[in-house]
Chain A
Amino acid sequence: MDFEIKPLDPERAASTSHDSTHRQHMRAALEMAEQALASDEVPVGCVFVHNGEIIGKGMNDTNRSLNGTRHAEFMAINSILRKHQPSIFSESDLYVTVEPCIMCASALRQFGIRAVYFGCSNDRFGGTGGVLSIHSDTGVDKPFPAYGGLFREEAIMLLRRFYVQENEKAPEPKSKKDRQLKTEVPPLP
């Protein structure tokens, strides 16, 4: 896969205290991705941060739920909305290990997210530059800034481990139908 590095916002990255905060939050997101990997889900994790505090965590859940829309972002939003009104997102930032897909990017924009920080790009479904630029296109909802490249290698390594793990699990030749399905399943959210 071809991932490209997008620099973090230089202004924010320049400040070391900011930088360490970003890294700290992305580490929390990577932990969620590890958990996803452990439960045989595509390893993508995320955290939402409000006033410096993590208000919700999510990991990809599409395989368990049999629902192709249960991406890490949605899982976290679901838990946040149990306690908060949707307006909280306009004062919150998202840290996610892989660039949000088109679906999630549109959801985040409709929720009014303040900013998105992601690890590696998503050149199959990416909605913040990977395939489309839902975050900045002309539209009725307020655009949001998206910054990529934070712990990019770690995010990619998790994905690689997932594919190795999946291949090792399936040493038996699969039926043709299964094989076809496998290639159709999006490896990324």
Chain B
Amino acid sequence: MGSWPNTQCQHQPDRLTDGLLESSTPSGCLIPLHTKAEVQNNVQIIQTYVATIHAKSANTVLKIVDDACRGLESINLNHLRRLVKPEYLPVYLQKDENKEQSRILGRIAVDSAGSTDVEVASPLAECNGQPSILHFLACATSVISRENLQSLLSSALPCSVNGLRPCIRVIKVPSTPPASHDQAEQFSQQYWPTVYKGGNPFGPHPSIFAHATEEIQHDAKDHMVLAMHAGLATSFEAKGEPIGAVIVDRSCSKGPIIVVVAGDARWNNVTKPQDRKSGNVMAHAVMRAIGMVAKKRLSLTNASQAPEMNGEQLNSFNDEPLNPLESDIYTRDVLAPGGYLCLDLELYLTHEPCLMCSMAILHSRFGRVVFGQRLPRTGGLTANIVGNHDSSTENLSSRPSYSLWWYPKLNWKLLAWEWVERDPPQASLSEQDIQA
């Protein structure tokens, strides 16, 4: 989770953005998006044996059981603690430690021995209160039978008190390692003490996200405000919807540099139909902003030309500035030569981009994207449909979630955040079918 950012503007004063900041200052925080795999939470649950053993014999038992399981079906339990003190058991297992439970456990434990009615059979009950007891996660139930484990343990436990057999019970554990500290904590409470060993099988490593969040959180707000104004500027002239995009270069040591800003222009040179259809889809804010970066790069390679602005020729891409706000930034000579597409650049958007724009972001090799409002009916980045479950959202419950920013089969991945405002605006596009 992102923290509330420092509200101070940390980068150099900019007459354009500063003017905007005075007029409107929403504040919010950055929330890293979850991938589809993270949201689906593909946690595999398996059954394992847990035995109660004496601490003194722990190492022997561990070795004997692991030796016996070696070469059999390999199930990785490296993320699970093998030996656990009673006080570190999850609460639901600790409950079993009261006498009533241990009597039942004792009965189960001796069932295989053919005898019943042995109230004191469980070592648990016998050793209650003594610190020498450990709970041993032996192996998955699919690997060896309970009887085999029982005899293995017996052979390793010369001190199994009074010839009583060790208590074995079956519990559920996650066979997939946790993707974060938070998930490890959740596993520890729900199943069995679990260790997070770093990495994330379902998305970017949390530390990568944390580092990047730290880097952008101080000025993300400024870029979001600018994106909002870019959208307002084109929609004010009835050229598009109030959707805006800002592209930022952070590779310069002087701090983040705004490369282009673009508002939606789907109604520019298009007759707006009564039913508000899609208009010129190519003129979404993201597509326009990407087009402007390309034109700026082109002007760098053909050194003679400044970014050309020949508005006379009808250009349905709308990849040239349409208003003073856009052209002010567009004409700034800020891109270093030799850059490739939008590699390493950051994109700030008022709204979650549609599928077309989401894939355009990947094609352009962006490194980071931040968007404001979720669009659960049309967006291509978020992994789950959230929000009010009104009937209009229900209709799209079968809509797949795409989370294209981290899609395993695609050859480009980036980081994506949602910018959550403290005081969300009243009017919002999220209930509409609009494609941003």
Contacts and interface: CB of A to CB of B under 8 A. Distances in A.
Interface residues of B, number: 49
Given A68-B365, A81-B282, A125-B410, 15 more contacts: A66-B294, A68-B341, A68-B342, A69-B287, A78-B282, A82-B316, A103-B363, A104-B356, A106-B355, A107-B281, A107-B356, A110-B354, A138-B399, A140-B378, A140-B435
B337 to A, nearest CB: 12
A73 to B, nearest CB: 10
Contacts of B314: 82
A72 interface: no
Interface in B416-436: 433, 435
B135 interface: no
Nearest to B363: A68
**Most chain B beta-carbon contacts within 10 A, residue among A66, A70, A137, A184:** A66
Interface string B355-369: 111011001110000
A102 B279 contact: no
A112 interface: yes
A144 B412 CA distance: 27
A139 B400 CA distance: 9
Contacts of B410: 124-125, 131
B282 A74 contact: yes
Interface in B307-343: 314-317, 340-342
A150 to B, nearest CB: 24
Given A68-B363, A124-B411, A138 B356 contact: no
B317 to A, nearest CB: 6
A106 B280 contact: no
Contacts of B340: 181
A87 B269 CA distance: 13
Interface of B: 269-271, 273, 277-282, 287, 290-291, 293-294, 297-298, 301, 314-317, 340-342, 354-357, 359-360, 363-365, 377-378, 380, 396, 398-400, 402, 404, 409-412, 433, 435
A115 interface: no
B365 A78 contact: no
A68 B364 contact: yes
Given A111-B281, A125-B410, A137-B399, A102 B404 contact: yes
A142 to B, nearest CB: 10
A136 B201 CA distance: 30
B249 to A, nearest CB: 15
**Most chain A beta-carbon contacts within 10 A, residue among B317, B342, B355, B433:** B355
Given A139-B399, A184-B365, A184-B412, A106 B278 contact: no
Which 5 pairs between the two chains have the least Cβ-Cβ distance? Answer: A67-B294, A103-B359, A81-B316, A106-B356, A106-B355
Contacts of A106: 354-356, 359, 380
A86 interface: yes
Nearest to A127: B359
Contact of B360 (A85, A103, A111, A181): A103
B399 A141 contact: no
Interface residues of A, number: 38
A78 B278 contact: no
Nearest to A83: B314
Contacts of A54: none
Interface string A82-102: 100111000000000000011
A78 B293 CA distance: 18
B411 A69 contact: no
Interface string A109-126: 011100000000000110
A134 interface: yes
Contacts of B281: 86, 107, 110-111
B364 A69 contact: yes
A186 B341 CA distance: 12
A91 to B, nearest CB: 14
A127 B298 CA distance: 29
A37 interface: no
A28 interface: no
11 contacts: A66-B297, A66-B298, A67-B290, A67-B291, A67-B293, A69-B364, A86-B280, A105-B355, A106-B356, A107-B281, A140-B435
Contacts of A74: 282, 317
Contacts of B365: 68, 184
A55 interface: no
A175 interface: no
A132 interface: yes
A69 B284 CA distance: 13
B111 to A, nearest CB: 52
Interface string A153-166: 00000000000000
Contacts of B380: 106
Contacts of A70: 294
**Most chain B beta-carbon contacts within 10 A, residue among A77, A102, A111, A137:** A102
B307 to A, nearest CB: 12
Contacts of A67: 290-291, 293-294, 341, 364
A15 interface: no
Nearest to B433: A140
Contact of B277 (A68, A112, A138, A184): A112
A17 interface: no
Contacts of A134: 355
A78 B364 contact: no
A141 B282 CA distance: 16
